[in-house]
Amino acid sequence: MACCALIYLTNWTNKPTEFRFTANGTVYYWNGNKEELKFYGSIIGCNGSSCSLTAEPGNGGIYQLIAFNIHTPSLSETSYTYTPAVATTSNLTNDFCGLPAPNNNEMYSDFEIGDFATITISKLHDGYADGIFPATFSASGGSPKLNITDGVLKNVKIVN
pLDDT tens digits, one per residue of 100-144: 766 666 788 898 889 999 999 999 999 999 999 999 999 877 788
What is the average pLDDT across 154-158? 96
Q: Is the dihedral of CA 52, 53, 59, 62 positive or negative?
A: negative
Beta strands in the chain (DSSP E): 18-23, 26-29, 41-46, 51-56, 65-70, 79-82, 96-98, 107-109, 116-125, 128-139, 146-159
Residue 4 has pLDDT above 50, yes or no: no
- Asked if 116 and 135 count as a contact pair (C-beta separation under 8 A), the reply is yes
From CA 49, how far away is CA 23, in angstroms rounded? 29
User: What is the structure's pLDDT at 143?
Assistant: 81
User: Domain coordinates of the chain in residue numbers?
Assistant: 16-159
Per residue in 14-73, pLDDT tens? 679 999 999 988 999 999 988 887 778 999 999 999 999 999 998 776 678 999 999 999
Q: Are 115 and 105 in contact (CB under 8 A)?
A: no
For residue 76, CA distances in Å to 70, 105, 131 come to: 11, 34, 11
